[in-house]
Amino acid sequence: METTYYSNGKLLLSAEYAVLDGALALAVPTTYGQSLEIIPSDSATLEWQSLEHYNEVWFSATLDTKTFDIHSCSNSELAETLKRILTQARELNPKFITGSKGYRTTSQLSFPRNWGLGSSSTLLNNIAQWASINPYTLLERTFGGSGYDIACAQHNTPILYQLVDKKPTVEEVVFQPSFQSQLYFVYLNQKQDSRAAIANYRKQDFDTLTLVTDLTGITRELFQATTLTDFESLLTEHETILSKVLKIAPIKERLFSDYYGAIKSLGGWGGDFVLATGNEKTPSYFKARGFTIVVPYSDMVL
Residue 12 has pLDDT above 70, yes or no: yes
> How does residue 118 score in pLDDT terms, banded at 50, 70 and 90?
very high
**Is there a contact between 154 and 9 (Cβ–Cβ < 8 Å)?**
no
- What pLDDT digit, counting tens, does each position of 232-246 carry? 999 999 999 999 999
Cα distance between residue 112 and residue 119, in whole Å: 9
CATH 3.30.230.10 residue ranges for the chain: 3-172
Band of the pLDDT at 167, cuts 50, 70, 90? Answer: very high
Cα distance between residue 128 and residue 140, in whole Å: 12
Mean pLDDT value of segment 139-144: 96
Q: Which of 32-41, 75-84, 157-166, 189-198 has the lowest average pLDDT? A: 189-198
Residue type, 20: L
- Beta-carbon contacts of 249 under 8 Å, excluding residues fewer than 6 positions away, are 243
CATH architecture of 3-172: 2-Layer Sandwich (3.30)
Q: What is the pLDDT of residue 231?
A: 98
Nearest by Cα to 25 from 37, 14, 34, 17: 14
pLDDT, residue 95, reads: 96
- What does the pLDDT read at residue 280? 96
- Give the pLDDT confidence score for residue 98 in this predicted structure: 87
pLDDT bin (cut points 50, 70, 90) of residue 196 is confident
Taking residues 271-277, report their average pLDDT.
92
pLDDT band at 76 (very low <50, low <70, confident <90, very high): very high
Average pLDDT over every residue of 233-262: 96
Average pLDDT over residues 135-163: 97
Residue 51 CA to residue 272 CA, distance in Å, equals 20
For residues 43-67, average pLDDT: 96
List, for residues 205-224, the tens digit of each pLDDT value: 999 999 999 999 999 999 99
Interhelix angle 119-131/76-92, rounded to 10 degrees, is 40
156 neighbors 172 (Cβ within 8 angstroms):
no
Percent of the chain with pLDDT over 70: 99
Separation of CA 281 from chain center? 28
Residues 201, 193: contact at Cβ < 8 Å?
Answer: no
Total Cβ atoms within 10 A of residue 8: 25
> What kind and span of H or E run contains 211?
helix 208-224
Which among 13, 27, 295 has a CA at the least distance from the CA of 150? 27
- What percent of the chain stands above pLDDT 90? 90
**pLDDT grade for 101, boundaries at 50, 70 and 90:** confident
Rounded Cα–Cα distance for residues 34 and 121 (Å): 9
Domain with CATH 3.30.70.890 in the chain: 180-300
Residues 56-71 have a mean pLDDT of: 97
> Does the pLDDT value for residue 192 go beyond 70?
no
pLDDT band at 68 (very low <50, low <70, confident <90, very high): very high
**pLDDT of 257 strictly over 90:** yes
What global pTM score does this model have? 0.95
Exposed (0-12), middle (13-18) or buried (19+): which is 33, by Cβ within 10 Å?
A: buried
pLDDT interval class at 228 (50, 70, 90) = very high
Q: Is the sign of the CA dihedral 83, 86, 90, 95 positive or negative?
A: negative
pLDDT at position 281: 97
Secondary structure of residue 130 in the 3-state scheme: helix
Say what the pLDDT of residue 49 is.
Answer: 98
Compute CA distances 168 → 123, 136, 146, 162, whole Å.
19, 8, 8, 6
Q: What is the CATH number of domain 180-300?
A: 3.30.70.890
In sequence order, the 6+-apart residues with CB closer than 8 A to the CB of 83 are 63, 68, 69, 70
The pLDDT of residue 194 is above 80? no
Kindly state the average pLDDT of the residues 39-57. 96
pLDDT at 261 over 90: yes
